[in-house]
Amino acid sequence: MLLYFGVAFLALFGGTFGYVQWASNESAWALWSVWIGTPTLGLLHLASSVGQRLGQHQMEALKTELDNLLRALPTE
């Protein structure tokens, strides 16, 4: 999540700064952060989806173990 927020913050800040440069009739070099940040966010989302899919069987095994342990606990 930190990477998402970091990239999104830099893209938004760069977009704002680039707009100010453009509105001031200067070279709007900061707008590159939007064109770099947007695909980077897409790649981060894709990587997280692949990682979640790859680890799904491990999470199911952990959940089964936890359920078994909780069932074994005495109830009042």
Is residue 59 assigned to a domain? yes
Is residue 27 assigned to a domain? yes
DSSP at 31: G
Is residue 8 assigned to a domain? yes
Tokens 């899919």 belong to 53
Assessment of whether the complete model's pTM goes beyond 0.75: no
Report the C-alpha gap between 18 and 24 in whole angstroms.
10
Is residue 76 assigned to a domain? no
Is residue 75 assigned to a domain? no
pLDDT tens sequence for the chain (76 residues): 899 999 999 999 999 999 999 999 999 999 999 999 999 999 999 999 999 999 999 999 999 999 999 999 988 7
Is residue 19 assigned to a domain? yes
Give the domain extent around 56. Answer: 2-70
Kindly report, residue by residue over 49-64, the tens digit of the pLDDT: 999 999 999 999 999 9
Q: How many domains does the chain have?
A: 1
